[in-house]
Structure 1
Amino acid sequence: MTKINKISNKMELSPEQREVLFRVLKARFEKNMNRHKGLEWAEVRVKLEADTEKQWSLNEMEITGGEPDVVGQDTKTGEYIYYDCSAESPKGRRSVCYDREALESRKNHKPENNAIDMAADMGIELLTEEQYRELQKLGNFDMKTSSWVQTPDNIRKLGGAIFCDRRYGTIFVYHNGAESYYAARGFRGSLRV
């Protein structure tokens, strides 16, 4: 599922890649009905089929280890809401600092990338703290890892960033310098389709 075609400046999956992605997403959807009670895969698929860019973003979430799944539907817009539902922070998105400013501020031992730019390149957004807490109502996530979440401007202006995890049956919100990065910290994303 990793090869993509660039068609008229849009990222697009081949028909074969699309079918593989849809099979994976359908199987996950059906296995985890508690995440999206009352929703039907056939209706989700119709929305997915209509948006090749969102297909590409979901594929990026998948190949970086996010295991995206539907966690709800916006009643006003009708959009389906996907979150990364992997048990731990997605493996292909770890060891990154928070944003470009933090990356550029590091003098030594820079990480390869940062969470904000990676998310933008994938066409997704980092979860907010509120969304992270919603996700944790659906299961136990980040029991061994942690995930950067969107940081309020007043904290970021002072050089900090926030991340979350679950330990001792509790969801913790922590702070760190935005330039920090760890092998066990990545980020989770959201996407509306």
Structure 2
Amino acid sequence: MTKSNKRELSQEQREELLRTLKARFEKNMNRHEDLEWAKVQAKLEANTEKLWSLYEMERTGGEPDVIGHDEKTGEYIFYDCSAESPKGRRSVCYDREALESRKKHKPENSAMDMAAAMDIELLTEEQYRELQKLGNFDTKTSSWVQTPANIRKLGGAIFCDRRYDTVFVYHNGAESYYAARGFRGSLKV
């Protein structure tokens, strides 16, 4: 067994994930009108390490889907497209520093640590706003987004949600965590 096997999927897991991603792609064509599944699948099959990250996004409730194509790099862009913040990634503070600063009632993990372990990036505020143009997300939950260094340096972190048909950006202490707050990720393949 090689060291990298931990991040490799079995043939059955790969096939199941590709079926799930294809079905979601076909069901939500408004997210990627000018893209073809066959090209996305070919790219995924050529980058199997990225399949592991997509599997983790799926396993934790993110429902990843293609939301765009980077013409410069040729990469397809996946975002978590679950209606609410992914269930398997909630009740987390913002980052490791925030987690370690808590004296009592520490959450099990942080958004930044989980994203790094999955080899994905937290959405930025701009990416979050792009996602919201594709549907109504986080109408009952909220999602941590990448926080500017100047805000984080002062102890804060930002999160977003959608209420009253409007996307809101809020702040909290980075060490805070709530059952209805998780994070959404992005992955380029």
Q: TM-score, normalised by structure 1?
A: 0.96
Aligned-partner Cα distance in 1 for 2:73–2:45: 17
Aligned-partner Cα distance in 2 for 1:14–1:41: 22
Q: Which residue of structure 2 aligns with residue 118 of structure 1?
A: 114
Q: Which residue of structure 2 aligns with residue 58 of structure 1?
A: 54
Q: Which residue of structure 1 aligns with residue 65 of structure 2?
A: 69
Q: Which residue of structure 1 aligns with residue 40 of structure 2?
A: 44
* The one of 129, 147, 151 aligned to 1:151: 147
Q: Which residue of structure 2 aligns with residue 192 of structure 1?
A: 188
Alignment: residue pair count: 188
Q: Which residue of structure 2 aligns with residue 162 of structure 1?
A: 158
Aligned-partner Cα distance in 2 for 1:79–1:7: 28
2:131 is the counterpart of 1:135: yes
Q: Which residue of structure 2 aligns with residue 16 of structure 1?
A: 12
Aligned-partner Cα distance in 2 for 1:50–1:44: 10
2:46 is the counterpart of 1:33: no
* TM-aligned CA deviation for residue 91 of structure 1: 0.2
Aligned-partner Cα distance in 2 for 1:38–1:148: 30
Aligned-partner Cα distance in 2 for 1:74–1:8: 32
Q: Which residue of structure 1 aligns with residue 81 of structure 2?
A: 85
**What's the Cα RMSD here?**
0.8
Q: Which residue of structure 1 aligns with residue 102 of structure 2?
A: 106
Aligned-partner Cα distance in 1 for 2:71–2:33: 14
Q: TM-score, normalised by structure 2?
A: 0.98
- The residue identity in structure 2 corresponding to 1:160 is G
The alignment partner of 1:28 has SS state of helix
* TM-aligned CA deviation for residue 12 of structure 1: 0.6
- The residue identity in structure 1 corresponding to 2:160 is C
The alignment partner of 2:38 has SS state of helix
Aligned-partner Cα distance in 1 for 2:32–2:2: 33
Aligned identity (percent) is: 82
2:96 is the counterpart of 1:96: no
* TM-aligned CA deviation for residue 9 of structure 1: 2.3
Aligned-partner Cα distance in 2 for 1:84–1:174: 20
Q: Which residue of structure 2 aligns with residue 3 of structure 1?
A: none
Unpaired segments ≥5 residues, structure 1? 1-5
